[in-house]
Structure formats: C-alpha cells, structure tokens
Structure 1
C-alpha cells in the first residue's frame, strides 16, 4: 500500500513550526545556560555563531581592564597560527611569535588546529594583540612562556600554559618587531612588567618553576578572570617588591577564578596596590590563600573559601613590619567559609571600594553561587557547534 503524499501547504506549515520550535528551544537553552554563567561568559557563549563573531569577546570584559574595544575595529588584522615551531629572533610567518611580536597594529590571533608550542625564548606580546585559543587545544609548555612588557590593550584567552622553566639572558624579537636583549626569567607562566589594560581570561595554568602570574613594576588596570590555577606553590604576585613604591597605583580585579587543588600560597600576594578579589573559588591551600606586605588594600568579596582538611584554616597572611604592620586594609565582605576557614580582617577602618566606572562595573553575585559561576573556569571544552 502506497503512503499518501503530504500536500505542499501542509509540509510548509510543518517546516515553519519545526523551525519555530527549534528557535524557541535554542532561546530557552541559552536562557538556562545564561543563568548558570557569570556575566563575562553570558556576554558571548550563548551565541551559536561565536566563531564568526569572535571580536564580540572584546565587549565582554569587566573590572579594572574596562572594555577591550581598542582591540577591534575596521583596521583589525586577523592572523591564524598554522605552525607550532618557534624562532625567537627570526620568527616565521604562521608562527605565534610572528603574530604576537612582528605584526603591528590591532591583531586578533587564532589557531588553525590543536597544537603544542614549545617557546625557545619568552614570547613578548605587542600592544593591541588578542591571543584567542577558543575552539582548539593550545598548550604553551615545557620551556619559556609569556611576557607583556611596556605594552597595553592585550587579551589572552583560552590557552593552557604549564611547566614553564627559567630562561638565561638572550636576544628575542621584541614587541615592536625589533630584536632586543632580555634578562634572566624566573619561569613564570605570565609576567606583566609596566603593562596596562591587560585581560587574562579562561586560561589553565599549572606546574611552573616560579609562579603562574606576576603583575609588576607599575602594571595596572588588569582583570584576571575565569582562569583555573592548580598544582602550584606560588600562584599570583601583585606588586614587584617591597621597595617598588610605583606599584601603589596598581589596580587589579581577580574574578570568577578557580584556585586549586594543590595550591600553596599567593592567591594573590599583594604589595602596595589595590585588589578587588571577588566571586572566586578557593579549593584549599597549604600556607595561606591571600597575603601581602607594604600596606596593600584588599576587598575580598563574595568568595568561597574551602579550608584544607589539615593545616592552616586562616585565609590571610601578613608580612610583619614594625613600620606599617598596623596599617593593613584587608576586608572581607559577603565571603563564604567552609571546613573551618577564617579571615582575619582589618578592624575599625573603612572598606576600600573599587570605584569602578560604568565600563568596569559588574554585579557581585552571592557567594552561595560561586561554584556555578566558576564551574567553567580554565580552558573551555568545545564541540563543532558550541563551547561549554
């Protein structure tokens, strides 16, 4: 018996309804995902066409970095890394160093495929550069790592940096396409020196010889967000040393990051400047989670601190000083504490406000939602159509 054919008018109606339901389904799913996402991710991840609208990311940053709209525009250069090799003095077209150091102007760097990059010398990144690893798995590991020196307006997004090693002094392609001498490097994943307006988002950092992230020598207007820091002794340093008073002007936002497991100290350690540490997940520590010296100002807000099973339950550490040991500004506002965690606050003083402008401000979420806000921290998983 032959099946009856469907009239064209009915078939058309069925297709319209199917498309409408599909659109509704996507919209509903996007709304559900949006509720689970933090404000940065909600800005771009629900868009199914994010791959063809990558520069939308530049409008999604919050905190002291502000919006990264200086990184986009009609004069934007799109550059694809096709070659994982590295030549620190004469980088080849197609390599990461060529895009980050040789090309000048606004550069948006993506990667053709999964790749493991072993840098022969530290990578110096030019101003107005975006390194966008979304959609592939990019590892920078097992030797030199990343440095931002005297540069501004830089985004580093969705890469994995680990097993960074100390580097002897030597020559390297500089951020203006000129070969420059570079001194000894300690083995940090990211080192910022006299840098400003830097956004480090959704990276996974671990197992480096020295630290994972240093913000030093007058660097300011930095946002560190959605990263996963794990398996590390010294995690994050804000401020060069006790004698470098220029870091008094340093302002850093640390938001939606996941610290742990197996992190020891410096999440962050602050000297001189100001840090707004907000909506982060702390999965234990050995020595301490947040510490500092030289009169730093800290507003710890709506974080979740889960103390280790054994050892110190105290979140904070203060370097003793006869001159200024009584002038700390460490404040906890709306933080949540589990497993016996405690926070030694500064008493009898005002809570320092971040004083964000309109571009920088964002809503702080109740600490009970921190697990959800940070569940996608680090390098994002992906499939052909979307990012999770």
Structure 2
C-alpha cells in the first residue's frame, strides 16, 4: 500500500514536471517570437505577422491594409492566379514566362506574384503594372535596380509589398507593354522609384526606396485612394510628390494616407509635398531633413497626426514649407494634432479654421497611436527580414 502510494506520487510529480516544462518552454518560445516581431506592433503588422504560417496564407495580407486604400479584397478570391518569378531578365515588348513583366503586365485578372529566390531585376523599360496585381516580395530579397522602375498607369487594386527599389534612372520615350498586355508608346520618364498616374486603390507597404534620379514616389494625374505604409525612404533629395502640378486641378480629389513610414537618413524634402488634394500623415518618424519635411501649394489640406519630427542638428528646424498660390497669399490648410517634436523642430499651422478629418469609412479606419509609440511602430519599416522557417 505504501509502495503504491509512492509510485502514484512519483507519477503525478512526473506529470507536473512535464506540464511545468511545457508551460515554460511555450512561454520562452512565445517570448522569443514576441521579441523578434516587436512587442509593440502597428495594426497592419498585427494583422498577419503573428501567424507563423504566413507563407501558406499569403493572401491574408490583402485584409490588413488601412487608410484610403481600404481592404484589398479585390486582389483575392477563387479566381486568383498564383505566379512565381523565376527569371530576372526583362523584355519590355515580348516578356518571357517566369519574368516579372510577364506576370505584372502580360497576365490579366487577379494575379499574386511571388519570387522563387533572391534576385536583382534590371528593367529595360518601366514596368507598367496591371490592375488587380499583387507583387509580394516577402521571404526573399528582391531589388528593382539600376535602370527603369515601376509605374502604375490607369490601373486599380494593386499591392506592392516587400520590394527594394533604388538607383532608378530617366528613360527616353519608347514602346513598352502596357498594363492591358498590349504594346503602347510611353513618353519621357524622369527616374522615380514608383510613379502613379491616374491610378486608384493602391497600397504600397514594407518596401525600401532610395537613391533615385528624380523622386521615390509620385502620386499624380488624378490618382486617389492611396495608402503608403511601413516603407523606409532614405538617401534622397525629393522623396514623395502628391499632385501632378499646379495646373492639374483634378488632383483636388486626391486622398492619400501616409502611415508608419520611416524617413531618413539623408532625406532632404517632400515627405510629402502636396498639391490640391488631401493627405492624412500619421504615426511616421522623420529623422531630419534639409529644406523641409512637409510642403504644399495650390490649397492642399493636411492633417499631420501623432508623428515624431526630429529636426536636424544643423539647419532648418521648421517642419513645413508653403508656396503661395497666384500671389494671393497662403491658402494651404496644414494642421498638427498630437505630433511630437525633438531637437528644436517646429510646425507652422494654419491660423484659425478647423482640422480637416480624413472621414474614413469603417474598412479604412484605424486607431491612431500616441506619438511616443512611433519609434516602436516604425522600427520594422522597409523590407522585412523574414526567417526561412516561420516568422517574418
């Protein structure tokens, strides 16, 4: 009887130890995963990065966007075409199957593009991306580099995620495959990393853009419902242009969300520069500037909300720049709500008036974090370093 009790006691001690070890092993594993993912993660990343099997469920990403692009539900569904880039070469007129241009321009319909391996892609001509296309670079290291770069021309419902675009160069006029798969003439291109022309419902996320001849990102000629999130903009004079030119009044309808991005080092101006339209610039980190961080002309509206502006050690401390319109004085509307300023940074607001709200619908809306969280929320900006086994 005593012996039975001893055996029984040892058995339950063993079970207790197994449970204890399992509990702490799980806690350590979870703790390590949280450390890698970041304890404080923005709402876009929370949506998919905690899933260790994200590779099996890549399309979950389409439900994670916020801001004016809304949820990218038109990029997924039963009729989705899965396309893998296996060839880094480029033919702008007759692209081969396996190349990026074949998947992004030739194939029509809902296309989800991934990459077989790390690659540098030197585009011969600008890549015109078709509607309902997702370019998903997660898990590999993909560079669009050293010549022509990306253009979204009269297209809609496009996701660009996890791509490095840099050292883009101007292009002379010439022929190229258009976003409808047909050959078309294309005029002079200035050398932007990504240029939007008459585009709508576009989401650019977790990409790294730098060192281009002209700018890094242009939203022009009536483009609207754009979300620019989690990107790293660096080493650039003119960073981001919202609005084509002073005379293009159709850009009054432009609506852009700029959220969770990291600007710097060595970004000089246009983060962004706005003409005519409206921008909600929220929870971004600005690591200095040379001329200004945010500028505008032609009656633009801006709500700068809970950003962190760190002024350069030497030079201009003022965040904003404003160009007078038609010599009648400043008619811009710039408002700062909950922004944080370091190293002497300052923000010249519009006097009087009322802060223009973004007026998001339920699928666009998101909770704005306090500016003190911006460092944490943007520390994973740019292309993510994804492990080969699980988390990203």
**Smaller-chain TM-score bracket:** over 0.9
What residue in structure 2 maps to residue 4 of structure 1?
A: none
Q: Within 2, Cα distance between the matches of 1:48 and 1:356?
A: 31
What residue in structure 1 maps to residue 87 of structure 2?
A: 83
Name which of 184, 189, 194 aligns with 1:185: 189
| Aligned 8 A contact 1:44 1:60 in 2 | yes
Q: What is the deviation of 1:35?
A: 3.9
Residue by residue, what CA displacement relative to the aligned partner does 1:160-197 show, whole Å, maximum 9, x if unpaired? 00000000111111111111111110000000000000
Q: Within 1, Cα distance between the matches of 2:15 and 2:127?
A: 56
Q: What is the deviation of 1:203?
A: 0.4
Residue by residue, what CA displacement relative to the aligned partner does 1:30-56 show, whole Å, maximum 9, x if unpaired? 666464111101110111000111000
Indicate whether 1:95 and 2:95 are aligned: no
Q: What is the deviation of 1:328?
A: 1.7
Name which of 63, 66, 70 aligns with 2:70: 66
RMSD over aligned CA atoms reads: 2.0
Indicate whether 1:229 and 2:233 are aligned: yes
Residue by residue, what CA displacement relative to the aligned partner does 1:79-135 show, whole Å, maximum 9, x if unpaired? 000000000000000000000001111000000000000000000000000000000
Shift of the 79–19 alpha-carbon distance from structure 1 to 2, 3 Å rule, reads farther
Residue by residue, what CA displacement relative to the aligned partner does 1:320-367 show, whole Å, maximum 9, x if unpaired? 234553322100000000000000000111000000010000010010
What residue in structure 2 maps to residue 254 of structure 1?
A: 258
Indicate whether 1:300 and 2:304 are aligned: yes
What residue in structure 2 maps to residue 139 of structure 1?
A: 143
| Aligned 8 A contact 2:237 2:269 in 1 | yes
Residue by residue, what CA displacement relative to the aligned partner does 1:123-154 show, whole Å, maximum 9, x if unpaired? 00000000000000000000000000000000
Name which of 124, 147, 168 aligns with 1:164: 168
| Aligned 8 A contact 1:172 1:182 in 2 | yes
Shift of the 331–93 alpha-carbon distance from structure 1 to 2, 3 Å rule, reads same
**Which runs of 5 or more residues in structure 1 are unaligned?**
1-6
3-state DSSP of counterpart to 1:253: strand
Q: What is the deviation of 1:382?
A: 1.9
3-state DSSP of counterpart to 1:51: coil
Indicate whether 1:278 and 2:279 are aligned: no
TM-score normalised over the length of structure 1: 0.94
3-state DSSP of counterpart to 1:50: coil
**Which runs of 5 or more residues in structure 2 are unaligned?**
1-9
| Aligned 8 A contact 1:34 1:46 in 2 | no
What residue in structure 2 maps to residue 344 of structure 1?
A: 348
Name which of 242, 245, 258 aligns with 1:241: 245
